[in-house]
A and B are shown apart, each in its own frame.
Chain A
Amino acid sequence: MHSFPRWKTWLILTVLVVSLMGALPNLMTPPTWWPTSLSKPMNLGLDLKGGIHLVLEVDVDKAVSHGVEGDIDTARQALRKEKIRYSKLAAEGNILSIAIKNSDDLAAAEKILTEAFGGNYMLAPAADKLFTLTLKESMAEETRKLAVDQAIEVIRGRIDALGTTEPVIIKQGKQRILIQIPGFEDSARAKQLIGRTAQLQFKLVDEKGDLDKALSGQLPNGDIIMYGPEQSRNGQTYRQPYLLKKRTELSGSEIADARVSIDSRFNEYAVTLKFNSKGARKFDKLTTAHVGERFAIILEDTVTSAPVIRERIAGGSAQITGSFTPEEAHDLAIVLRAGALPAPVMVVEERSIGPSLGQDSIDQGVNSIIFGSILVLIFMGIYYRMFGLVANLALVFNMLLILAAMSIIGGTLTLPGMAGIVLTIGMAVDANVLIFERIREELRLGKTPLAAIDGGYDKALSTIVDANITTLIAAIVLFQFGSGPVKGFAITLSVGILASMFTAITVTRGIVALSTAKRGRIEKLSI
């Protein structure tokens, strides 16, 4: 028999020790001197831990058109400053169109617009006194990217306010955000909290305008109609219309803080806002100039209330009321504090798991692993006797190695991942079956036991490698194209295959070599 090289013995021992150390954190908290790279337990997937899993899609094109709408103000101011009169200022998608009143002003307008927008827009030549400014694609792309990044930040703020541990919020692809909140089970509340844009606006009510006329189509210039929340009266639902000035006086971005409070008049839950210094100044000016008029507080395109300005408000705070439940008020305060989403988001995928299902899955997965292993161990022991026991030792080593490897590389164990481990048990012994069958064959051909062992191992090797590589190819493809839990399956399967090549070939060989080394002539193998 070939001698078993000393370095391989050391390799096996080293791997064994590292595996034992790497697997330990899954069973108990390791002592403080434990190497940090070996101190992590395996991550459990959300399907085992329970929790909320959402994939959001950010409507990035909305962010772009919002930005373009915002530039209307810039254009207006620039033109006014030069006293250039315009007949139309409009934004649609990524195009800003500006119509100039007098053709004498065209040259000046072009100069001003180029100055103000030349960097970001492409200015089309004036045709019929109309300028069209198209947002440059690179700028639009930048806006889209920024919208997703900002949305992530805002959502992180909202989720952190829930006080859950280790939420995952990451960008997925170009315009999607993956959110995982382990241990949180109120999927409806999470979606409500994460999904709302929380766009807050303050607009003045047009007290002079005629609401009825506006409703019949004669909308005064510079006004818009917005509606209050759905209410039911006499069994019918209706929404109160308001005639508002189009211009937004203050917005959610000027809020420094938002807290739940009690509205003293009706003894209701409310949210008290504190403006930042810029917002407070604006609010001060607004209330000074419009005493006796109403201003509307608009949350997500719905007028929540339109109180009358009784006197100048200098303190920089305002209150939002709207018959909130305590939880609604609490969540509203959270979203206002965290800020508005730069663009609407939409849930495109959800996979949330209740805590009891997660625990059941763990139990069932562990049971299948244990039960499956026991069946295989018994079967191998009966069928291959001593060699079967050697293979069994290798199998236990293999399990340990998978556990350690998953912990060290920070892999995530999912329910399909557990199935992958179960499957690995079945396939790990395959290498040993190949070797042992070959040894039996060599014995039948009349070789001596030791020569048969050598022949068995040598001849089975290329088969084992070929067979495992093909399975590995399938596992890698699965990892590339799979998502979430399925990826977990691909990981454990790959780790298991690699681990089994080591344990089934090198480790069993080592054990066989050690046990035959000192016995001199061997007449018969227990195989």
Chain B
Amino acid sequence: MQLIRSDLHFDFIGKRKIAMVISAVMLLASLGTLAVKGLNFGIDFTGGTLVEVKFDKAPAISDVRDAISPKGYGNAVIQEFGAPEEILIRVQNRDDENSSTISTAILDGLSEAFTADAIEMRRVEFVGPQVGEELTQAGIMAVLVAMLAILIYVTFRFEFRFALGADAALLHDITIVLGLFALTGKEFTLPVIAALLTVIGYSLNDTIVVFDRIRENMAANRKRKTPDNEVSVVNGSINLTLSRTLMTSITTLLVVLALFFMGGEVIHDFAFALIAGILVGTYSSIYVASPVMLSLEGKFKGDEDEIKEMEARP
């Protein structure tokens, strides 16, 4: 069985203008949504309290609010979580409270109003303001360090312009996934950062496979009597790796879809980020990384020396 007939030859690079427009639109839309609507940061980053409670039968949201109002949390965000019996209550930190007493008050209020047997504590999370700040910094650092480390590795293994192409694809992917989070209003939490880093790894994985082939074919091309131009070598390489790119995306998507549908509410947004990242990552490895790399041809000194050195390598 074959997904892509081997005699098919798509002109990916020839269509790069169209792709650039599509990417630009997606990027602008993402940045616009991020700027206007912003991310719905979870308590990991804002600090606050989250209480997940399972009721024996589905309660009305208004009853839940009435139950916790006497405790002073009438303005909490209350929502269903996965099932009608499961309720998620979120409260921002107040300036004068920096210990995790809020959850106790909320649970007390609920058990007074619904009887203690009718409710079950599923999850209590509290993140103090300082910890929230630390986690935000660590998250930003993680993404930056990962990108830098990858830039260094790809520069070391390939050429600098390849590395820039790879990082351009990464930025592209992360921006669009973030844009999707802003658009859908899904909660942005620590696991989503983990998903973003995985998307970085995955997108890069795809890009590297294509780059590897480009490098191999460029080396072979230079040895020919009448070398093709770089564009057609790149295009040919993308075509050669196309069925692999799609196959891997499909197998990975299959499992991530399993996570999305069966992994439960807690992992839901995490899986969503991965699905979005895999789709965008697959697109960008074809339409962003290589075109950017191509457009940087000859921009960096010493490229020629590097190429010679590169060819000497196994």
Q: Which A residues lie at the B interface, using CB under 8 A? A: 47, 54-55, 57, 185, 187-188, 191, 195, 346-354, 356-357, 360-361, 364-365, 367-368, 371-373, 375-376, 379-380, 382-385, 415-416, 418-419, 422-423, 425-427, 429-430, 433-434, 437, 440-441, 444, 459, 462-463, 466-475, 477-478, 480-483, 485-486, 489-490, 493
- For the complex, give the distance between the alpha carbons of A400 and B277 in Å: 28
User: B1-50: which residues lie under 8 A (CB-CB) from chain A?
Assistant: 1, 3, 6
Tell me whether B205 and A481 are in contact (CB under 8 A).
Answer: no
Tell me whether B122 and A354 are in contact (CB under 8 A).
Answer: yes
Q: Spot the interface stretch: B70-78, B224-232, B244-252, B289-297.
A: B244-252
> Which of B201, B250, B251 lies in contact with A474, CB distance below 8 A?
B201
Interface centre among A188, A423, A434, A486 (most CB of B within 10 A): A486
Residues of chain A with a CB closer than 8 A to B201's CB: 470-475
Tell me whether B256 and A422 are in contact (CB under 8 A).
Answer: yes
Tell me whether B254 and A375 are in contact (CB under 8 A).
Answer: yes
Known contacts A477-B146, A478-B198; 10 further A-B pairs (Cβ under 8 A): A191-B100, A357-B123, A372-B256, A416-B270, A459-B216, A462-B212, A467-B208, A477-B142, A477-B145, A477-B197
Instruction: Please give the distance in Å from A47's CB to the nearest CB on chain B.
Output: 8
Q: What are 27 of the A-B contact pairs (CB < 8 Å)?
A: A187-B103, A350-B125, A351-B124, A357-B123, A364-B262, A364-B263, A364-B264, A365-B263, A375-B254, A384-B1, A419-B263, A422-B263, A425-B251, A426-B254, A427-B202, A427-B252, A433-B244, A433-B247, A433-B248, A437-B244, A463-B209, A466-B208, A473-B201, A477-B149, A481-B139, A481-B141, A481-B142
**A-B interface pairs (CB < 8 A), number:** 240
B178 within 8 A of A: no
B276 within 8 A of A: no
Residues of chain B with a CB closer than 8 A to A187's CB: 103-104, 107, 121, 124
> A-side binding surface: helix, strand, loop or mixed?
helix
Residues of chain B with a CB closer than 8 A to A380's CB: 251
Residues of chain B with a CB closer than 8 A to A351's CB: 123-126
Q: Spot the interface stretch: B56-64, B150-158, B179-187.
A: B150-158
Residues of chain B with a CB closer than 8 A to A477's CB: 142, 145-146, 149, 197
Nearest B-chain residue to A433, judged by Cβ: B247
- For the complex, give the distance between the alpha carbons of A469 and B146 in Å: 12
B288 within 8 A of A: no
Nearest B-chain residue to A487, judged by Cβ: B194
Residues of chain A with a CB closer than 8 A to B138's CB: 481-483
Instruction: Please give the distance in Å from A350's CB to the nearest CB on chain B.
Output: 4
Nearest B-chain residue to A428, judged by Cβ: B251
- For the complex, give the distance between the alpha carbons of A94 and B249 in Å: 61
> Which of B121, B190, B270, B314 lies in contact with A185, CB distance below 8 A?
B121
Tell me whether A349 and B128 are in contact (CB under 8 A).
Answer: yes
Residues of chain A with a CB closer than 8 A to B190's CB: 482-483, 485-486
Given the interface pairs A364-B262, A372-B255, A471-B201, the reply to whether A354 lies near B121 with Cβ below 8 Å is: yes
Residues of chain A with a CB closer than 8 A to B145's CB: 477, 480-481
Tell me whether A467 and B209 are in contact (CB under 8 A).
Answer: yes
Tell me whether A419 and B267 are in contact (CB under 8 A).
Answer: yes
Tell me whether B266 and A372 are in contact (CB under 8 A).
Answer: no
- For the complex, give the distance between the alpha carbons of A464 and B95 in Å: 52
Instruction: Please give the distance in Å from A91's CB to the nearest CB on chain B.
Output: 26
Instruction: Please give the distance in Å from A344's CB to the nearest CB on chain B.
Output: 10
Q: Mark B99-137, 1 if CB is under 8 A from A, else 0.
A: 111011001100000000000111111111011000100
B65 within 8 A of A: no
Residues of chain B with a CB closer than 8 A to A357's CB: 52, 54, 122-123, 266
> Which of A349, A430, A481, A482 lies in contact with B131, CB distance below 8 A?
A349
- For the complex, give the distance between the alpha carbons of A398 and B146 in Å: 26
- For the complex, give the distance between the alpha carbons of A185 and B1 in Å: 53
Nearest B-chain residue to A385, judged by Cβ: B1
- For the complex, give the distance between the alpha carbons of A365 and B250 in Å: 20
B259 within 8 A of A: yes
> Which of B204, B212, B314 lies in contact with A471, CB distance below 8 A?
B204
B258 within 8 A of A: yes
Instruction: Please give the distance in Å from A54's CB to the nearest CB on chain B.
Output: 8
Tell me whether A486 and B193 are in contact (CB under 8 A).
Answer: yes
Nearest B-chain residue to A497, judged by Cβ: B201
- For the complex, give the distance between the alpha carbons of A360 and B130 in Å: 31
Tell me whether B194 and A372 are in contact (CB under 8 A).
Answer: no
Given the interface pairs A382-B1, A477-B149, the reply to whether A350 lies near B263 with Cβ below 8 Å is: no
Tell me whether B194 and A482 are in contact (CB under 8 A).
Answer: yes
Tell me whether B205 and A379 are in contact (CB under 8 A).
Answer: no
Given the interface pairs A353-B123, A416-B267, A433-B244, the reply to whether A423 lies near B205 with Cβ below 8 Å is: no
